[in-house]
């Protein structure tokens, strides 16, 4: 098993690295400059002359290290003869990619272009806000999906399936806005706060702090649970229905076991396999956050941080975020493989 | 499970109620303002967005500031407007700082602080590229040997706007950031040349490191400021809270200098990115001020204002405009009559109604019609007139054929009039304008394809001239009339996206920037508007209005068309509403 997992790591890590390198080269190769409002020239009446604008851009590129060649080898036009065809040129280690890899090898992700904060602190701060929301939602959604899939009485199943299918087709932003307009609206019900994480009084005791925190978390959490649960429950239900149609389930029933007993004791273990795949898909989503919920409920988090970094061309934050997500996704693949083999011994490689 | 959820819910409700009741009663309600985004940094050198500028202005002060109501510059740290002398191609601007101006630690604000700030603004390797370019015209500071508060700024150029610009940067405390006066020995001119400063002045690099390590942008509370507020808390992406200083030097002068007023005791900026959530927050009274509300939401809320007596509605003509630009170097649009013809296809009144709920207003050009002295009211904006457009196309050499409009070119195949309209993706206003233009042009037989483009890619394409037409927003102001960055031939490839420029227009633009006499300046600006309408490198579709909704308990908002549209430091609570 250990060798098998090690092999998976050996294959997946270079793949992830290749993807990340491609993103690095493409994002920087597009020539997009870091954000500098005056360079966008949308304001009339600036006193800086045009010549200074170019110098400004050059200085900024120099400060960010964007004036160095992009890669070890690039296609360049000759300075002496600009009309000549472009030729490949070797730059040695004095290039952006090499500096970036060197930085990464020291565990240094650099600084955000926007606020000059260390990228690590930007991501950790975002995760601190995102993880309680996404992990909470994942735990609740999985519990609910199991409860609905396994413990629902047969006569309710058809109606439940219809409700879950209806919920499943609703986009996240619709659910978020619906919850907001229904439960945080003075014209309907203003039971919950509309945005933010609330202000926790410093003199409040721990349960008051927890209460305030949960009060503000309720709607975003409900939103994620409502969107995640149907997919999980329907998947589990489909897998269970499939297993219950198998010969071994019929035999068990013929021996006098009740349907629910067959489901819980025999079918559930086999129905786990497709369910595990869906669960593993949740893992990267836990870290990536959810930009829609974070934006609608004005909560900071990983999704908003990455979306804003992309919009502002904040490459250091963006690349570190992609690296983190790629790592988590790889871990999710490996974890799924391992759980698969744990759940079904037939899938284990021959020793 | 139901029991578990019920218990949890009760815990939450009880805890919420307890935490609310346990909060101490404040003397005055805080002023809560909606911000659409986080300021990212409060470093006076960077100020990457309007919110950052607003935050920095609460902490630090510049020599001059804007009087929002009168829309003119007034002295802030300076005791009066500066005296100006011209010396050849240079302008000498003399300021004197107020005697009572103090930093938080009680130290006086002196000419040394201004000199130090100018040096920091030019230090290599600091995130100061933009201020460096903007204030690069200040080449030296001459302190008065007899008066530590008096100094003269030596500025390159003679444009009257330099005087206002010379006082528009926040001043930093030299005694705190450079207690040993290491930068004192480095001339400003040397710092303006990066390599020279680092090579010849070994104290510069350690200072830069220290400044970076201080992380002023994230921890401005560690630095003494001269402004009336201090940053009490900052939850990134959520909320910033500023508290008025109990003892601030400007308090004693508020009767004689209204620009030094700081009325709210506590100001909170709530970061709410989504407009729908912000609207709900306003209606729930979670925020007191919603600046620049989208026109549609503002219209709906105002129409229902009888149900919302707790809200007040304000509008102000702004300097933000929506502009259509033409690539004047594209062979299709090289003829001015072709550009004029396309301009006649924008149904601007309908667009104003559709996109701005009728709140925007038209203009013949880049000068705001509210500016009566400089606006050329003898001109008329392009009317929606497809017949006139056809006539102009014929005059420009185009011929209507069964498939569209074509033009014969000697020795080449006929040229077909088909255009690409580029604009920033995800912007409903541009989408609406593009669709209207496409429909009007299609009826005339001109195919126009819409190219919504990602912001940075669009900027690159506009700079490189890889487009036919574009839509974008621009911001003007009532103080500076320097059109060189957007219309001079020297700016082609940087800010002059239309690639327009003739020797005449270049001369005119330069004359406007240097003209001192207001009457002559007005004449030149009117000429420029006429020239731009005739040449039509760009068409101003409309100027926007700021729509602001505030809680009725607020008074003295000093609503204006200058960003952010209100004066946060002037706002007061009506007497019966304060606690």
pLDDT for position B19: 46
Residue B130: band (very low, low, confident or very high) from pLDDT cuts 50, 70, 90:
confident
Cα–Cα distance, A86 to A44 (Å, whole number): 38
Cα–Cα distance, B556 to B574 (Å, whole number): 9
Cβ-based contacts under 8 A for chains A and B? 213
Q: Nearest Cβ partner of B137 from A47, A177, A295? A: A47
pLDDT for position A284: 82
Q: CB A21: neighbour CB atoms within 10 A? A: 15
Compare A82 and B449 and report the one with higher pLDDT. B449
From B25-34, B73-82, B184-193, the region with the lowest mean pLDDT: B25-34
CATH number of the structural domain B321-543: 3.10.105.10
Contact A184 B134 (CB under 8 A): no
Q: What is the mean pLDDT of residues B84-113?
A: 95
Which residue does chain A place closest to B157, by CA atoms? Answer: A47
pLDDT 10s digits, A115-144: 888 999 999 999 999 999 999 999 999 999
* Total residues belonging to chain B: 579
Contact A42 B237 (CB under 8 A): no
Residues of B in contact with A59 (CB under 8 A): 129, 132, 194
Q: What is the mean pLDDT of residues B144-164?
A: 92
Task: List the single best residue of A30, A49, A56, A205 to mutate versus B (max B Cβ within 10 A).
Answer: A49
Residue A77: band (very low, low, confident or very high) from pLDDT cuts 50, 70, 90:
low
Cα–Cα distance, B287 to B306 (Å, whole number): 20
Contact A125 B236 (CB under 8 A): yes
Cα–chain-centroid distance for residue A309? Answer: 14
B38-222: CATH class: alpha beta
Q: Is the pLDDT of residue B34 over 50?
A: yes
From A48-57, B49-58, B264-273, the region with the lowest mean pLDDT: A48-57
Cα–Cα distance, B77 to B249 (Å, whole number): 11
Q: Is the pLDDT of residue A333 over 90?
A: no
pLDDT 10s digits, B343-354: 999 999 999 999
Distance from CA of B256 to the nearest CA of A (A): 31
Q: What is the mean pLDDT of residues B228-245?
A: 95
Per domain, the residue ranges of chain B are 38-222, 229-317+545-573, 321-543
Say if residue B564 is preceded by a cis peptide, omega within 30 of 0: yes
Task: List the single best residue of B93, B121, B191, B237 to mutate versus A (max A Cβ within 10 A).
Answer: B237
Cα–chain-centroid distance for residue B149? Answer: 31
Q: Is the pLDDT of residue B20 over 50?
A: no
Q: Nearest Cβ partner of A208 from B19, B456, B472? A: B19
DSSP B429-461: HHHHHHHHHHHHHHHHT--EEEEEE-HHHHHHH
Q: If residue A274 lies in a helix (H) or strand (E), which one and from where to where? A: helix A268-288
pLDDT for position B21: 42
Strands of B266-271's sheet in order across: B229-235, B239-244, B266-271, B31-35, B289-290, B538-551, B311-326, B469-475, B419-424, B448-453
pLDDT 10s digits, A143-187: 999 888 777 776 777 888 889 999 989 999 999 999 999 999 999
- Which chain B residues in 410-469 lie under 8 Å from chain A, judged by CB atoms? 455-457, 459-460
Cα–Cα distance, B33 to B52 (Å, whole number): 14
Distance from CA of B212 to the nearest CA of A (A): 9
Q: Which two tokens stand for residue A205?
A: 């005791």
Q: Nearest Cβ partner of B11 from A54, A211, A304? A: A211
| CB proximity B32 to A under 8 Å | no
CATH number of the structural domain B229-317+545-573: 3.40.190.10
pLDDT for position A31: 54
Q: What is the mean pLDDT of residues A20-25?
A: 88
- Which chain B residues in 476-495 lie under 8 Å from chain A, judged by CB atoms? 476-477, 479-486, 488, 490-491, 494-495
Q: CB A202: neighbour CB atoms within 10 A? A: 6
Q: Count CA atoms closer than 13 A to A161's CA, side-chain side.
A: 13
Q: Is the pLDDT of residue A37 over 70?
A: no
Compare A241 and B57 and report the one with higher pLDDT. B57
pLDDT 10s digits, B169-212: 999 999 999 999 999 999 999 898 866 677 788 889 999 999 98
Q: Is the pLDDT of residue B18 over 90?
A: no
Q: Nearest Cβ partner of A41 from B14, B284, B495? A: B495
pLDDT for position B25: 42
Q: Which residue's structure tokens are 């700082």?
A: B97
Q: Go through A58-80 and write b for each residue having 16 or more CB atoms within 10 A of its CB, e for each that does not.
A: ebbbebbebeebbeeeeeeeeee
Which residue does chain B place closest to A312, by CA atoms? Answer: B456
Cα–Cα distance, B275 to B292 (Å, whole number): 10
Contact B159 A47 (CB under 8 A): yes
pLDDT for position B234: 95
Residue A267: band (very low, low, confident or very high) from pLDDT cuts 50, 70, 90:
confident
Residues of A in contact with B137 (CB under 8 A): 47
Q: At what angle do helices A302-311 and A268-288 cross, to 10 degrees?
A: 50
Q: Which residue's structure tokens are 């030019």?
A: B122
Q: Which two tokens stand for residue B55?
A: 């935050």
Angle at the Cα of B67 (from B61 to B73), degrees rounded to 5?
A: 75
Cα separation values, B442 from B350, B403, B418, B447, Å = 17, 11, 10, 6
Q: Are B270 and B281 in contact (CB under 8 A)?
A: yes
Q: Nearest Cβ partner of B162 from A41, A42, A47? A: A47
| CB proximity B139 to A under 8 Å | no
Cα–Cα distance, B417 to B400 (Å, whole number): 10
| ipTM beyond cut 0.90 | no
Residues of B in contact with A185 (CB under 8 A): 280, 283-284
Cα–Cα distance, A49 to A56 (Å, whole number): 11
Q: Nearest Cβ partner of A44 from B281, B284, B483? A: B483
- Which chain B residues in 338-367 lie under 8 Å from chain A, judged by CB atoms? 366
Q: Is the pLDDT of residue B9 over 60?
A: no
pLDDT for position A120: 94
Contact A181 B41 (CB under 8 A): no
| CB proximity B217 to A under 8 Å | yes
């Amino acid at each position: 098993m250990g060798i098998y997992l090690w092999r998976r790591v050996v294959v997946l890590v270079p793949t992830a690295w290749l993807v990340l390198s491609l993103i690095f080269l493409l994002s920087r190769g597009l020539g997009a400059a870091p954000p500098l409002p005056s360079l966008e020239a949308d304001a009339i009446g600036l006193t800086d002359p045009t010549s200074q604008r170019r110098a400004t851009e050059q200085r900024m590129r120099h400060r960010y290290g964007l004036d160095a060649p992009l890669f070890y080898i690039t296609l360049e036009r000759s300075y002496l003869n600009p009309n000549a065809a472009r030729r490949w040129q070797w730059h040695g280690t004095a290039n952006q990619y090499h500096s970036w890899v060197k930085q990464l090898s020291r565990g240094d992700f650099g600084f955000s272009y926007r606020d000059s904060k260390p990228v690590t602190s930007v991501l950790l701060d975002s995760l601190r806000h995102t993880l309680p929301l996404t992990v909470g939602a994942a735990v609740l959604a999985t519990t609910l999906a199991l409860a609905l899939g396994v413990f629902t009485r047969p006569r309710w199943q058809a109606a439940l399936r219809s409700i879950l299918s209806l919920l499943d087709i609703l986009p996240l932003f619709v659910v978020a806005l619906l919850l907001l307009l229904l439960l945080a609206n003075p014209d309907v019900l203003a039971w919950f706060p509309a945005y933010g994480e609330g202000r926790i009084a410093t003199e409040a005791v721990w349960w008051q702090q927890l209460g305030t925190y949960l009060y503000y978390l309720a709607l975003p959490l409900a939103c994620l649970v409502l969107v995640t649960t149907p997919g999980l429950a329907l998947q589990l239900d489909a897998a269970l229905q499939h297993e219950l149609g198998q010969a071994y389930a019929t035999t068990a029933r013929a021996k006098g076991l009740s349907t629910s007993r067959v489901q819980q004791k025999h079918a559930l273990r086999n129905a786990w396999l497709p369910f595990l795949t869906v669960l593993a898909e949740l893992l990267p989503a836990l870290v990536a956050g959810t930009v829609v919920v974070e934006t609608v409920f004005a909560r900071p988090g990983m999704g908003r941080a990455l979306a804003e970094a992309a919009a502002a061309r904040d490459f250091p934050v963006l690349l570190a975020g992609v690296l983190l997500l790629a790592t988590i996704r790889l871990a999710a693949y490996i974890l799924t493989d391992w759980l698969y083999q744990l759940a079904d011994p037939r899938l284990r490689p021959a020793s | 499970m139901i029991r578990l959820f019920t218990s949890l819910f009760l815990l939450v409700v009880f805890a919420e109620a307890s935490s609310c009741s346990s909060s101490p009663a404040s003397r005055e309600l805080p002023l809560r303002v909606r911000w659409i985004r986080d300021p990212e940094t409060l470093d006076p050198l960077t100020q990457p967005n309007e919110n950052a500028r607003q935050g920095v202005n609460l902490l630090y002060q510049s020599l001059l500031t804007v009087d929002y109501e009168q829309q003119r510059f007034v002295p802030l740290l300076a005791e009066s407007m500066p005296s100006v002398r011209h010396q050849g191609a240079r302008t000498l601007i003399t300021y004197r700082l107020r005697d009572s101006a103090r930093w938080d630690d009680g130290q006086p604000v002196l000419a040394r602080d201004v000199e130090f700030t100018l040096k920091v603004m030019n230090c290599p390797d600091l995130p100061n590229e933009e201020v460096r370019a903007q204030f690069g015209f200040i080449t030296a500071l001459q302190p008065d040997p007899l008066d530590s508060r008096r100094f003269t700024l030596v500025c390159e150029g003679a444009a009257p706007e330099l005087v206002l610009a010379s006082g528009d940067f926040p001043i930093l405390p030299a005694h705190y950031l450079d207690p040993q006066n290491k930068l004192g020995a480095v001339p400003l001119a040397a710092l303006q040349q990066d390599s020279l400063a680092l090579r010849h002045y070994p104290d510069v690099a350690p200072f830069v490191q220290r400044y970076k390590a201080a992380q002023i942008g994230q921890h401005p509370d560690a630095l003494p400021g001269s402004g009336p507020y201090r940053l009490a808390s900052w939850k990134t992406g959520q909320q910033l809270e500023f508290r008025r200083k109990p003892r601030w030097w400007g308090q004693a002068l508020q009767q004689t200098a209204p620009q030094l007023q700081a009325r709210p005791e506590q100001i909170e900026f709530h970061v709410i990115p989504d407009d729908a959530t912000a609207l709900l927050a306003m209606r729930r009274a979670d925020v007191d001020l919603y600046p620049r509300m989208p026109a549609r939401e503002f219209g709906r809320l105002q129409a229902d204002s009888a149900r919302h007596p707790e809200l007040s509605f304000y509008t102000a003509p702004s300097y933000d405009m929506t502009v259509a630009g033409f690539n004047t170097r594209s062979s299709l649009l090289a003829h001015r009559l072709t550009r004029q013809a396309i301009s006649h296809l924008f149904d601007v009144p309908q667009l104003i109604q559709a996109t701005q709920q009728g709140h925007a207003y038209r203009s013949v050009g880049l000068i705001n019609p509210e500016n009566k002295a400089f606006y050329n009211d003898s001109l008329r904006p392009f009317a929606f007139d497809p017949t006139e457009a056809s006539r102009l196309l014929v005059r420009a050499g185009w011929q209507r054929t069964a498939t569209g409009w074509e033009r014969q070119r000697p020795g080449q195949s006929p040229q077909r009039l088909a255009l690409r309209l580029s604009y920033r993706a995800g912007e409903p206003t541009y989408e609406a304008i593009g669709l209207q233009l496409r429909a009007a042009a299609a009826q005339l037989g001109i195919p126009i394809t819409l190219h919504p483009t990602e912001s940075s890619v669009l900027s690159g394409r506009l700079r490189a001239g890889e487009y036919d037409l574009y839509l974008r927003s621009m911001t003007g102001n009532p103080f500076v009339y320097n059109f060189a960055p957007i219309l001079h031939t020297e700016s082609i490839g940087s800010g002059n996206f239309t690639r327009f420029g003739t020797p005449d227009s270049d001369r005119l633009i330069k004359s406007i920037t240097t003209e001192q006499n207001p009457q002559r300046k007005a004449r030149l600006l009117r000429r420029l508007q006429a020239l731009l309408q005739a040449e039509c490198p760009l068409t101003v579709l409309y100027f926007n209005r700021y729509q602001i909704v505030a809680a009725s308990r607020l008074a003295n908002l000093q609503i204006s068309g200058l960003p952010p549209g209100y004066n946060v430091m002037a706002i007061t609570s009506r007497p019966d509403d304060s606690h």
